[in-house]
C-alpha cells in the first residue's frame, strides 16, 4: 500500500488507485513522465521487506570475507561492467524542473489580488495579459530551498523568500536568449551587416 499512498489517494480496501486525485509525489512523477506501478497487496510489500532483510544479514560477513573494510572497497566489489555501451539516461526537457520538485497547493486569488498561503499574504503584481486575477485559481509552490512562488498556468506571478518577502525576478533562459539575440541583431543592423 506504500506505492498507492505515494502516487494516488489511498483507495478503499481492495479498490483501485484514483489516478485523478494525485498526491504530491504522484503529481511530480506525472509531470516528469514517470509511470508508477501500483502494488495492490500488502503481501507484496512484505515480500520485498523480507528480501531486503535476507540480503542485509549476510552482507557484512561477505564483505569481511573478501577483505572490504571501507565503503570505497565495497563499491568496487559490487561494481559490474555494463553489458552494453551507451547511457540509459534520457535528456531532460528544456524546461525549468523547479515546479515539478515543489510542493503545490491550489489557492484562489482574493478580490484585492492577494493570495493567502501558510499564514502569509502575497500581493500579486499587475500583469499585462489580464486585468485582475481576482477569483482565479493559482498554484502556490513551496520549493526545496524554502522559497515560495505563485503561478497561473505557465505564468510565474512572483517568487518569495520563506518569510514572504518578494525575491528579484529571475529571467528564464529563453528570455535571456531572446534578449541576447535581439541585442546582436541591433548591433548587426547598426554596423550595416
Q: Whose CA is closest to 16, among 3, 30, 25?
A: 3
pLDDT of residue 89: 81
User: What would the pLDDT profile of 135-180 be if each residue is shown by its tens digit?
Assistant: 999 999 999 999 999 999 989 999 999 888 898 875 545 555 555 6
Task: Kindly report which listed range (6-15, 165-174, 181-190) carries the lowest average pLDDT score.
Answer: 6-15
Task: Reduce the DSSP state of residue 38 to 3 states and report it.
Answer: coil
Strand order in the sheet with 148-152: 103-108, 137-142, 148-152, 155-160
**Contacts of residue 72, Cβ cutoff 8 Å, sequence gap at least 6:** none
pLDDT over 50 (residue 49): yes
Rounded Cα gap, residues 48 and 78, in angstroms:
21
Rounded Cα gap, residues 138 and 157, in angstroms:
9
User: Per-domain residue ranges for the chain?
Assistant: 2-54, 98-187
Q: Which residue has the cell 504522484?
A: 26
Rounded Cα gap, residues 55 and 48, in angstroms:
11
User: What would the pLDDT profile of 108-140 be if each residue is shown by its tens digit?
Assistant: 999 999 999 999 999 998 888 888 899 999 999
Task: Kindly report which listed range (14-23, 102-111, 136-145) carries the lowest average pLDDT score.
Answer: 14-23
Cβ atoms of 26 and 6 closer than 8 Å: yes
Q: How much is the pTM?
A: 0.59
Amino acid at each position: 500500500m506504500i506505492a498507492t499512498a505515494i502516487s494516488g489517494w489511498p483507495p478503499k480496501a481492495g479498490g483501485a488507485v484514483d489516478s485523478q486525485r494525485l498526491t504530491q509525489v504522484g503529481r511530480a512523477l506525472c509531470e516528469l513522465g514517470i509511470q508508477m506501478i501500483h502494488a495492490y497487496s500488502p503481501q507484496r510489500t512484505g515480500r520485498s521487506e523480507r528480501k531486503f532483510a535476507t540480503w542485509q544479514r549476510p552482507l557484512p560477513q561477505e564483505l569481511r570475507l573478501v577483505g572490504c573494510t571501507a565503503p570505497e572497497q565495497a563499491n568496487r566489489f559490487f561494481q559490474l561492467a555494463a553489458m552494453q555501451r551507451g547511457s540509459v539516461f534520457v535528456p531532460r526537457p528544456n524546461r525549468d524542473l523547479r515546479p515539478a520538485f515543489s510542493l503545490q497547493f491550489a489557492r484562489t486569488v482574493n478580490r484585492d489580488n492577494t493570495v493567502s498561503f501558510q499564514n502569509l499574504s502575497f500581493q500579486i503584481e499587475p500583469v499585462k495579459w489580464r486585468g485582475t486575477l481576482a477569483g482565479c485559481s493559482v498554484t502556490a509552490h513551496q520549493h526545496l530551498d524554502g522559497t515560495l512562488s505563485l503561478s497561473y498556468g505557465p505564468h510565474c506571478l512572483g517568487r518569495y523568500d520563506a518569510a514572504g518577502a518578494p525575491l528579484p525576478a529571475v529571467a528564464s533562459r529563453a528570455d535571456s536568449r531572446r534578449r541576447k539575440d535581439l541585442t546582436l541583431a541591433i548591433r548587426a543592423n547598426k554596423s550595416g551587416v
